[in-house]
Amino acid sequence: DVTVVGTGATTYSSKSGYPVKADVAAEQVTADDFDGIIIPGGYAPDLMRRSPAMVKLVKDAILGGKVVGAICHAAWVLCSAGVLEGKTATCFHSIKDDLVNAGARYVDQEVVVDGNLITAREAKDLPAFCRALIYLLEKAD
């Protein structure tokens, strides 16, 4: 099952204008409710990182050993959650300095797996990102 968690239980528009309705607000769930969390890229992470409940959810998931995937600008949420210290990660090139300043070792690869954290650079890396997510989620079962 997939649950869409938002900063509120509302409908959001993607960068391309596609609507997606959140099933639940971040305040209503805990990391233990999920096998893993995937943070989308695009414009959403800049809004997501402003929500203390969303940041806590991601932080608790990482610290609790849950699989967490972050693609493109999603790494901003990881920066705000303070979970990148000592991790190897990648992201969209324009926010590389943010990752480094948050304590991550940045590498320019399509996908990076460091423990339970999976990061990818951009949409063209989705095939490798999805393969890594599926592998770690199946391994976690």
Residues annotated as catalytic are 73
Distance CA 100, CA 87 (A): 10
The SS3 call for residue 31 is helix
Distance CA 47, CA 10 (A): 14
User: ∠133-92-116 over CA atoms, to 5°?
Assistant: 30
Cβ atoms of residues 126 and 77 within 8 Å: no
Listed residue (100, 97, 120) closest to 108, CA to CA: 120
